[in-house]
């Protein structure tokens, strides 16, 4: 597989050629390397790290510093995949100049190749200015986690005609402003199909049906590392969570039994350094000695 970094131009070409885009989240170098080897075209350093890495209830507590740190790690691990960094809550909503600076940090300090932000028409001016400044932008419409409280929870969006028409207008506004792709999250398949057909830029779905130009999943979800709650739109392509628990349990058993580390995992000195080490052996029930300890310990050569 080519090690040439995937660019925004490549992603647009993939839509034009009818080639589906594979996108996953990752938050460190190890998972980024695995995603890269698996053939992911895009790696998103999502503000979902607030939930899957930091253990928060939502994404709202994630900071720009958090995203910069994790993006830097992901970029080290991924050689081919295009790396896009999320702009976290209130890093771009309040002030245009601050938004420009924060987006710049994600590229300059984090090493991302583009940024992603939530929202439609209301952020078209920002998208335009970012793109004109050399910062590629991916949009995000539908179920936008940073608006979880305004939406009354994590609910499918665009079910009504009015909602659907607004999301379509938002998608068209983002394309006109220069966005190179749009994530559609938690919308009916009928809406994602219309938007995908209406736009010349790729749509990447999550809970938006099969008609998008690509798909994105949180890597912890697709690997089956969580089993407490599996959303309807998630398919677990592996069950690594139970495997990990079993492996740690087996490790604990061997540690407690004294069978790990074994000889195969042990280093030896080239000469005798100290006196022979004491080794616990089975006591002789007939030999208690004066203090009751005789027969409990023996020695073995180094």
Q: Are 55 and 43 in contact (CB under 8 A)?
A: no
Choose the catalytic residue: 121, 122, 185, 271. 185
- Nearest Cα residue to 190 out of 215, 214, 165: 165
Show Cβ contacts of residue 289 under 8 Å, excluding neighbours closer than 6 positions: 295
Q: Is 17 left (phi over 0), alpha (psi -120 to 50) or beta?
A: alpha
Beta bridge partners of 17: none
Which residue in 112, 27, 118, 110 sits closest to 65, CA to CA?
110
Are 24 and 35 within 8 A, CB to CB?
yes
Instruction: Name the residue with tokens 């999301």.
Output: 167
How many residues would you count in the chain? Answer: 302
Structure tokens at 11: 């992603």
Q: Write phi, then psi, for 206 (nearest 5 degrees).
A: -145, 110
Question: Distance between CA atoms of 128 and 177, rounded to whole angstroms?
Answer: 5
185 is annotated as an active-site residue: yes
C-beta separation of 170 from 164 below 8 A? no
Q: How many CB atoms lie within 10 A of CB 284?
A: 11
Q: Which residues are catalytic?
A: 185
């Amino acid at each position: 597989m080519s090690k040439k970094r995937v660019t925004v131009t490549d992603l647009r070409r993939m839509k034009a050629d009818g080639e589906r885009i594979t996108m996953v989240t990752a938050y460190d170098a190890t998972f980024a390397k695995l995603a890269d080897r698996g053939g992911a075209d895009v790696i998103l350093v999502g503000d979902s790290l607030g939930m899957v890495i930091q253990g928060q209830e939502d994404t709202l507590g994630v900071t720009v510093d958090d995203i910069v740190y994790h993006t830097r790690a992901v970029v080290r691990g991924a050689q081919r995949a295009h790396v896009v960094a999320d702009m976290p809550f209130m890093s771009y909503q309040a002030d245009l100049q601050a938004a420009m600076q924060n987006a710049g940090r994600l590229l300059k300090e984090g090493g991302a190749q583009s940024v992603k932000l939530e929202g439609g028409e209301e952020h078209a001016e920002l998208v335009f200015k970012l793109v004109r400044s050399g910062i590629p932008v991916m949009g995000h419409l539908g179920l936008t986690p940073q608006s979880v409280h305004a939406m009354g929870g994590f609910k499918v969006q665009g079910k009504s005609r009015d909602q659907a028409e607004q999301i379509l207008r938002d998608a068209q506004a983002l394309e006109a402003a220069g966005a190179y792709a749009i994530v559609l999250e938690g919308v009916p398949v009928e809406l994602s199909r219309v938007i995908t057909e209406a736009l010349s830029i790729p749509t990447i779905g999550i809970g938006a049906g099969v008609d998008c130009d690509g798909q994105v999943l949180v890597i912890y979800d697709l690997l089956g590392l969580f089993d407490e709650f599996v959303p309807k739109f998630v398919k677990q392509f592996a069950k690594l969570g139970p495997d990990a628990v079993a492996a740690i349990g087996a490790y604990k058993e061997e540690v407690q039994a004294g069978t790990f580390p074994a000889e195969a995992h042990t280093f030896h000195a080239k000469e005798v350094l100290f006196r022979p080490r004491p080794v616990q052996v089975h006591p002789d029930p007939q030999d208690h000695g004066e203090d009751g300890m005789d027969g409990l310990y023996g020695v073995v050569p180094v």
